[in-house]
């Protein structure tokens, strides 16, 4: 896959009928949402969105991204199946670039090396579960394809006790597993076990049934059932219950940290929510101290960050022994919060534009007034200065400047007072004009500030080219968005 290369999904679909506009819009939104979720590390949610987009409009780029996400999630069987379709459809270089086709071949080969085959044979027809998930019914038509690693295989049949085997598989291997189901006179009971702490081993009557979170209920024989949940760094949780034939029950186990756990087997988790006031929970327990830094036993932990008006952020985080793990939790606003924010921004924009217009009007009016009265002060001061000059001359023959009488006449002091008032009035007009200009500038500045600071888009949806990173633990690359 070439870095920085953007591919537009092809419009080819499985149906001859072209998709309508609503279908295209839905597929486009699903695809973009898948890219955004993948960039946040929410792989399971991203995979669901990509699959839905592919169901709406099948195209190679979506399928290509499905393969990369499955590889990042360590689901090699699904990755190989998706990339096989990509490579079949890419013949003739349609829909994907040559670099993307080459990358698809590379990832497909890497993932195929991590697949093992197991043929399960039972003495009676039975439902086969792998890690609690239904995988088929015997007799199987073909071997089960499983990711390398540890798995718990179960065989369940009416009137028989559940039979379980724990296998550790290597990639590129094949084996046959023969299971014998022992009859029982009663119907099995089913237990749903809830353990908020991920990565804990669950044992039922001494048999390991898998790691938490268990994907389905556990079938058990009626009678006393001993359940044990273990994980390094935590105290063992044990419980024995009595179950009736054909009954359904549920149990919750909250494991307590073992204070005797050495510091070398612990790590530090630091969570930074994107929004202030968010509530942080770790493994189902409120842990606000995680924002400053929280010491936890090494291994996987379930993180949840919540805040009113935002969608909960959930992710499984791996805390390394003796290491610090930092995580930014981006919170996505709900539709109601976005709508309220958009309404607030609209009001802010209206006020900002109105204040700018009012400020400009005030500045314009004040400038016109200042221009119209520009000669008033100079004329009034000239008249007053001439009057004062005559008064200072002490010449009894000097006539009053505005009255044809001697200066000693009673009218002359009144004339001087009139001239002074004219000067004061002209100065007031000047000050009012300058003050109006200053006020208009301030009002327009406030409006500009409201507009400039009112552009924050709350979790705005982006469109167009988007590129995200992926990794399968061994190699990495880019994931592409495009247009439908």
Per residue in 223-267, pLDDT (tens digit) is: 999 999 999 999 999 999 999 988 989 999 999 999 999 999 999
Per-residue pLDDT of 381-421, as tens digits, reads 887 787 777 666 655 555 555 444 444 454 566 777 777 88
pLDDT beyond 80 at 478 = no
- Report the pLDDT value the prediction gives residue 470, as an integer from 0 to 100: 44
For 375-399, b/e burial (b = at least 16 CB within 10 A) is ebbeebeebbeebeebeeeeeeeee
272 confidence band (pLDDT: 50, 70, 90): very high
pLDDT beyond 80 at 460 = no
Find out whether 131 and 215 touch, Cβ atoms under 8 Å.
yes
pTM score over 0.85 = no
Which residue did the predictor score with more confidence, 4 or 52?
52
- Report the pLDDT value the prediction gives residue 392, as an integer from 0 to 100: 64
pLDDT beyond 70 at 473 = no
Average pLDDT over residues 457-479: 46
Average pLDDT, the chain: 83
pLDDT beyond 50 at 318 = yes
- Report the pLDDT value the prediction gives residue 89, as an integer from 0 to 100: 60
Work out the number of other CB atoms within 10 angstroms of the CB of residue 188: 21
- Report the pLDDT value the prediction gives residue 240, as an integer from 0 to 100: 94
- Report the pLDDT value the prediction gives residue 229, as an integer from 0 to 100: 96
What's the chain look like in SS3?
A: CCCCCCCCCCCCCCCCCCCCHHHHHHHHHHHHHHHHHHHCCCHHHHHHHHHHHHHHCCCHHHHHHHHHHHHHCCCHHHHHHHHHHHHHHCCCCCCCCHHHHHHHHHHHHHHHCCEEEEEEEECCCCEEEECCEEEEECCCCCCEEEECEEEEEEEECCCECCEEEEEEECCCCEEEEEECCCECCCCCEEEEEECCCCCCEEEECCEEEEECCCCCCEEECCEEEEEEEECCCECCEEEEEEECCCCEEEEECCCCECCCCCHHHEEEEEEEECCCCCEEEECCEECHHHHCCEEEECEEEEEEEECCCECCEEEEEEECCCCEEEEEECCCECHHHHHHHHHHHHHHHHHHHHHHHHHHHHHHHHHHHHHHCCCHHHHHHHHHHHHHHHHHCCCCCCECCCCCCECCCCHHHHHHHHHHHHHHHHHHHHHHHHHHHHHHHHHHHHHHHHHHCCCCCCCCCCCCCCEEEEECCCCEEEEECCCC
- Report the pLDDT value the prediction gives residue 9, as an integer from 0 to 100: 46
Average pLDDT over residues 355-361: 93
Which residue did the predictor score with more confidence, 398 or 205?
205
141 confidence band (pLDDT: 50, 70, 90): very high
Most confident range (mean pLDDT) of 15-24, 231-240, 425-434 is: 231-240
- Residues above pLDDT 90, as percent of the chain: 44
- Report the pLDDT value the prediction gives residue 321, as an integer from 0 to 100: 92
pLDDT beyond 60 at 14 = no
Strand partners, 189: 220
- Report the pLDDT value the prediction gives residue 146, as an integer from 0 to 100: 94
Per-residue pLDDT of 71-103, as tens digits, reads 988 899 999 999 998 888 645 446 678 888 889
Average pLDDT over residues 182-199: 88
pLDDT beyond 90 at 296 = yes
CA dihedral sign, ordered 120, 152, 46, 136: positive
**Lowest-confidence range among 17-21, 371-375, 466-470?**
466-470
- Report the pLDDT value the prediction gives residue 178, as an integer from 0 to 100: 93
For 63-84, b/e burial (b = at least 16 CB within 10 A) is bbbbbbbbbbbebbbbbbbbbe
**Lowest-confidence range among 203-212, 371-380, 471-480?**
471-480
């Amino acid at each position: 896959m070439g870095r920085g290369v953007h591919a537009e999904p092809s419009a080819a679909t499985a149906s001859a009928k072209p998709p309508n506009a609503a279908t295209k819009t839905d597929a486009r939104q699903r695809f973009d949402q898948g890219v955004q979720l993948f960039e946040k590390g929410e792989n399971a949610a991203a995979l669901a969105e990509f699959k839905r987009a592919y169901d709406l409009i099948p195209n190679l780029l979506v399928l290509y991204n499905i393969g990369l996400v499955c590889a990042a999630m360590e689901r090699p069987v699904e990755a190989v199946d998706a990339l096989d379709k990509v490579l079949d459809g890419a013949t003739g270089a349609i829909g994907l670039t040559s670099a993307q086709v080459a990358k698809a071949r590379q990832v497909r080969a890497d993932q195929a090396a991590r697949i093992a085959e197991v043929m399960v044979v039972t003495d009676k027809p039975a439902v086969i579960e792998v890690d609690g998930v239904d995988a088929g019914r015997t007799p199987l038509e073909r071997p089960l394809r499983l990711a390398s690693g540890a798995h718990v295989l179960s065989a369940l049949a009416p009137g028989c006790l559940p039979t379980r085997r724990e296998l550790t598989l290597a990639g590129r291997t094949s084996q046959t597993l023969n299971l014998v189901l022992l009859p029982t006179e009663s119907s099995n009971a089913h237990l749903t076990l809830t353990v908020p702490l991920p990565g804990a081993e669950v044992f039922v009557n001494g048999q390991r049934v898998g790691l938490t979170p268990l994907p389905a209920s556990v079938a058990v024989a009626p009678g006393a059932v001993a359940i044990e949940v273990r994980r390094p760094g935590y105290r063992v949780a044990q419980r024995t219950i009595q179950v009736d034939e054909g009954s359904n029950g549920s149990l919750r186990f909250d494991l307590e940290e073992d204070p005797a756990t050495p510091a070398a087997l612990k790590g530090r988790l630091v969570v930074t929510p994107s929004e202030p006031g968010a509530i942080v929970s770790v493994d189902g327990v409120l842990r606000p101290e995680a924002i400053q830094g929280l010491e936890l036993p090494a291994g996987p932990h379930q993180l949840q960050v919540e805040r009113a008006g935002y969608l909960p952020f959930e992710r499984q985080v791996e805390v390394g022994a003796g290491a610090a793990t930092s995580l930014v939790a981006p919170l996505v606003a709900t539709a109601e919060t976005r709508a309220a924010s958009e309404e607030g921004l609209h009001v802010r924009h209206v006020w900002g534009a109105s204040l700018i217009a009012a400020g400009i009007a005030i500045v314009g009016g004040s400038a016109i007034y200042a221009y119209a009265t520009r000669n008033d002060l100079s004329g009034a001061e000239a008249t007053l200065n001439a009057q004062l000059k005559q008064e200072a001359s002490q010449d009894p023959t000097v006539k009053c400047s505005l009255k044809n009488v001697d200066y000693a006449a009673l009218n002359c002091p009144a004339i001087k007072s009139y001239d002074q008032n004219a000067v004061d009035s002209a100065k007031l007009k000047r000050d009012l004009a300058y003050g109006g200009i200053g006020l208009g500038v301030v009002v327009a500045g406030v409006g500009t500030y409201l507009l400039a600071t009112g552009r924050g888009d709350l979790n705005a949806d982006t469109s167009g080219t988007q590129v995200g990173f992926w990794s399968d633990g061994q190699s990495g690359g880019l994931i592409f968005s495009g247009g439908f």
